[in-house]
Structure 1
Amino acid sequence: MIRLLAFLTLLPGLALAQEDTPATSQPALAGPLEEEMPGELIIATREAPPFAFRGPDGAWTGISIDLLRVMADELDFTYALEEAELAEMIAGVGDGRYDASIAALSITPEREEVVDFTHPFYSTGLGIAVDTGSSGGWFRVLRNIFTWQFGAVLAGLSAVLLLAGAAIWAFERRGNNEEFRREPVRGLGDGFWWAAVTMTTVGYGDKSPRTLGGRIVGLIWMFTAMIIVASFTAAIAAALTVGQLGGRVADASDLASSRVGVVEGSSGAEEMQVRRISTRPYPSTGDGLAALANGELDAFVHDRPLLQFLMEEDFQGRVRVLPEPIGRQDYGIALPEGSELREPMNRALLAYVRSEDWGDVVARYIGSDPR
């Protein structure tokens, strides 16, 4: 009897503790809007797979579209999607043409001056796409070798050969003028030839030092030439390797000296502008990746999940995305400033992204949630 009374005393506290424990399944969303929205909402979107794109039947689908559909059901509003360019998605919400915009919209200070954003529903970073080296062949290899840096190395090597040739000629021009002629121009030419064939270990035998001074110079040059040849060979091998691996861009530090493409008006374009990297604008991610695959670009910078999705779908084996992302991008829904939708959308969004259903949506389109 005493145990029963103790249990009944603790029962309200146990119930309260259960209510305070977060649900492991779908959390409760915001519920219907307090005031019914006047008519159908016009919401702008654009092709940004896997967040927003048209399926085989022509209907819009993707991570962002699924999120919008769930929020519309929970908040009890209707909407119509209208396709627009990236710049118009922001400007149209700002001037009232659209009630909202959704796709893969990065929250940036510049955009926040025009519109309000919901809380982020996805965080990622910018990716750098490069080609795999399957296109370009030996032309790409030769391009990586015959640069101005390579020309500077050749000029320096020629100067060293001429210096070694002049030293051998200075000793041999009197005691061995049959092989090293006395005339300065011809004699220096003979010395240059001897230095070159000695360095490459070809050794034709048509010219060889006979004086003591000449032989000392020859011995020093042989050992020096071994070091020069080893260094030169390593430089060529490195250039060949870079060409065969598919490009001159290994990380973000290489972008400044490369041909870089971006989507016009995107957060990638803004990031490159901040870094003072010149870019070529393209209307869409697909256009930029096609230019990259055709050898018109060295790199294409855009939102990482979009690059990875299109790489797998349309550019398999032609482009690859470098492992290290640039910075951070947070995706949100753009709303007019002061919109009554912002607070209920935020509540519904925060509840939904905590649910297992959200994890399933992301996994269905991307494979796994990289956050």
Structure 2
Amino acid sequence: MRHCFAFLTVVLVSIGWVSGLRGQEAVQTGAAGAVGKIRVVTRDLEPFSFEKTGRRVGYAAELWDQAARETGVQYEVKVVSNAQEIIDALKNKTADVGVGALSVTAQREAVIDFSQPFYESGLQVLVAGAGGSFADNILPMLANLFNLELIGMFALLLATMFVISHLVWRYEHPVNGDQWPESYRTGMWESFWWTISTLLVGGADNKGPVGVGGRIVAIVWMLLSIVLVSLLTASFTTTLTINTLKGDINGPGDLPGRKVATVKGSTAETWLTAKGAKVQPEATIGECIAALKDGKVNAVVYDAPVLQYEAAKTQDEKLMMVGPVFERQNYAFALQQDSLLRERLNQAILTLQERGVSNELRTKYFGEDQ
């Protein structure tokens, strides 16, 4: 009787242990919904995950599909509005995998897990360059033209011309009173006319120094004029072509205090808020670009590959990326905390990278190969 009781106890404990393992695995893999299917949550964000001809396509979507085949799992897809909804679904265990352009951050890692990164990204700035009518651009052009550097150069030039004019009059009026009168006011006017004519056109008709001292000063001035004209031309070209065309936002350092659009709930919104920008959150990147084109914001900041892709689709030559890619970040598949899928998914991603699948998708959607 005692042997039977002991045997029955062992059987019951074994059944309980196996049932517990199966229950834990069901929770870990999140086998809710259709039995045996992984619940994938994603959002529409070209070129990483979007609907086309009734299929889910994009860099991340197609990489996930290949990884799922590699690991032998089936899945069903649910589309949500933004990245935060994906994180919340995984945190609440109503989904098993998040697919898309999801940045790996410390804040997100605290509540969910991530797979091996599959794409390196970062933030970038999009602005609207010069365009429109002459009236729209005249004020920024004048503001850039009359900057302190150019005003200082003009002041130095006028001072140099005054000195040269004085020296020429000083040496010439005793020997050439007809062209350089003895009166200082009249003589300086004639001398200044000769100085500016020499600077701009190389000399003044029927007027030139005849004394030894005046000619020595004239030679020095003519040589100096060549250098000054070159410097002035270079300064004007730099000011008008760079400052006017690029505007007053040339990178992330110019964003504090400016109105900047980005996607609501993104890592870009967190970064902009921390830097003191006036953030205007929008539902989609398309709405952000529309706000920029309408003049409602000064710039758009978002993930560089998505921003470049969407800006190119508009075929608007006034839109341009400025500054470097900053706040480098990695995209990865999101998972539930301590998910049993993580190791198998990591192996599948590395296998696909070794086969060149990642490069094929990069070439397909970004026209580049790494």
Separation of aligned partners in 1, 2:101 and 2:167: 68
Aligned length: 330
Corresponding residue SS for 2:104: coil
Q: What is the match of residue 57 of structure 2?
A: 61
- Whether the 8 Å CA contact 2:39–2:75 is kept in 1: the answer is no
**Equivalent AA in structure 1 for residue 262 of structure 2:** V
- Residue of structure 1 aligned with 2:105, choices 100, 104, 108: 108
Separation of aligned partners in 2, 1:210 and 1:173: 10
Give how far 1:288 is off: 4.8
- Whether the 8 Å CA contact 2:39–2:96 is kept in 1: the answer is yes
Give how far 1:104 is off: 0.8
Q: Find out whether 1:331 has 2:327 as its counterpart.
A: no
Q: Deviations over 1:301-351 (max 9, x none)?
A: 543432343244332655566897557432112334334443444344444
- Residue of structure 2 aligned with 1:39, choices 17, 22, 32: 32
Give how far 1:353 is off: 4.4
Give how far 1:121 is off: 2.1
Give how far 1:197 is off: 1.7
Provide closer, same or farther for how the CA distance between residues 359 and 235 of structure 1 changes in structure 2, counting only shifts above 3 A.
closer
Give how far 1:120 is off: 1.0
Corresponding residue SS for 1:101: strand
Separation of aligned partners in 1, 2:92 and 2:187: 81
Q: Find out whether 1:83 has 2:81 as its counterpart.
A: yes
Corresponding residue SS for 1:222: helix
Q: What is the match of residue 19 of structure 1?
A: none
Provide closer, same or farther for how the CA distance between residues 37 and 302 of structure 1 changes in structure 2, counting only shifts above 3 A.
closer
Corresponding residue SS for 1:263: strand
Provide closer, same or farther for how the CA distance between residues 325 and 256 of structure 1 changes in structure 2, counting only shifts above 3 A.
closer
Give how far 1:146 is off: 1.0
Q: What is the match of residue 145 of structure 2?
A: 146
Separation of aligned partners in 1, 2:206 and 2:45: 70
Give how far 1:223 is off: 1.4
Separation of aligned partners in 1, 2:89 and 2:187: 78
Correspondence list, 1:163-178, <5 A: 163-171=163-171, 176=177
Separation of aligned partners in 2, 1:218 and 1:230: 19
**Equivalent AA in structure 2 for residue 82 of structure 1:** V
Q: Deviations over 1:78-130 (max 9, x none)?
A: 4422122x455446655667655332112233443443222112234555657
- Residue of structure 2 aligned with 1:50, choices 47, 52, 59: 47
Separation of aligned partners in 2, 1:363 and 1:83: 27
Corresponding residue SS for 2:102: coil
- Whether the 8 Å CA contact 2:262–2:302 is kept in 1: the answer is yes
Give how far 1:205 is off: 4.0
The percent identity for this pair of structures is 25
User: Given the two structures, how large is their TM-score scaled by the length of structure 1?
Assistant: 0.65
Larger Rg belongs to? 2
Return 169-178 or 43-52, whichever deviates more. Answer: 169-178
Q: What is the match of residue 214 of structure 2?
A: 214
- Whether the 8 Å CA contact 2:127–2:321 is kept in 1: the answer is yes
Structure 2: unaligned runs, 5 residues or longer: 1-23
- Whether the 8 Å CA contact 1:144–1:239 is kept in 2: the answer is no
Return 224-233 or 163-172, whichever deviates more. Answer: 163-172
Corresponding residue SS for 1:230: helix
- Whether the 8 Å CA contact 2:251–2:323 is kept in 1: the answer is no
Provide closer, same or farther for how the CA distance between residues 180 and 127 of structure 1 changes in structure 2, counting only shifts above 3 A.
farther
- Whether the 8 Å CA contact 1:261–1:279 is kept in 2: the answer is yes
Separation of aligned partners in 2, 1:280 and 1:152: 37
Give how far 1:201 is off: 2.0
Separation of aligned partners in 1, 2:260 and 2:115: 29
Correspondence list, 1:284-295, <5 A: 284-289=284-289
Separation of aligned partners in 2, 1:38 and 1:206: 99
Separation of aligned partners in 2, 1:295 and 1:243: 19
Structure 1: unaligned runs, 5 residues or longer: 1-32
Separation of aligned partners in 1, 2:211 and 2:172: 6
Separation of aligned partners in 2, 1:81 and 1:122: 21
Give how far 1:294 is off: 7.2
- Whether the 8 Å CA contact 1:165–1:192 is kept in 2: the answer is yes
Separation of aligned partners in 1, 2:158 and 2:113: 64
Give how far 1:196 is off: 1.6
Provide closer, same or farther for how the CA distance between residues 193 and 301 of structure 1 changes in structure 2, counting only shifts above 3 A.
farther
Corresponding residue SS for 1:39: coil
Give how far 1:62 is off: 1.8
User: Given the two structures, how large is their TM-score scaled by the length of structure 2?
Assistant: 0.65
